Structure 1
């Protein structure tokens, strides 16, 4: 399945892009993250959340949407 991944903040700095389309044949978000770690090794050292279709998800969530975002930590106030 072709998915669109959006990168924000320090994650975009690591990937050197704000968005990309990626072919993904796995099932879970964790598999997608592993695929991204292989492509962007420095990403392993970054803390981030994953959103699917604009909702935060866990690594055990099945990939069901084509819109994924990697979000850096939020600052509270």
Structure 2
């Protein structure tokens, strides 16, 4: 399936892009992260959360939507 991944903050700096479309044949968020680690090795050194369809996801979340975002740590106020 073709998914769109949006990158923010320091994650966008690592990938050198704010958004990309990616062919993904896995099922879980953890599999997507592994695929991204292969493509962007420096991503392994970054702390980030994954959101799917504007909701935070866990590593065990099934990829069911095509709107994925990688979010750097953020502080509340």
Fold shared per TM-score above 0.5: yes
Residue of structure 2 in register with 1:63 after alignment: 63
How far 1:65 moved relative to its partner? 0.3
Q: Could you say what secondary structure the match of 1:32 adopts?
A: helix
After TM superposition, the score normalised by the length of structure 2 is: 0.98
Q: Tell me the matched-pair count.
A: 77
The correspondence of residues 21-60 of structure 1 with structure 2, limited to 5 A, is 21-60=21-60
Could you report, residue by residue, the CA deviation over 1:45-75 in whole angstroms, capped at 9, with x for unpaired residues?
0000000000001010000000000000011
TM norm structure 1: 0.98
1:4-31 residue CA offsets vs partner (Å, 9 max, x unmatched): 0000000000000000000000000000
Question: By how many angstroms is 1:76 displaced?
Answer: 2.2
- Structure 1: segments with no counterpart, 5+ residues: none
Runs of 5+ unmatched residues, structure 2: none
Indicate the residue corresponding to 2:16 in structure 1. Answer: 16
Q: Which runs of 4+ in 1 moved over 4 A?
A: none
- SS of the residue 2:64 aligns to: coil
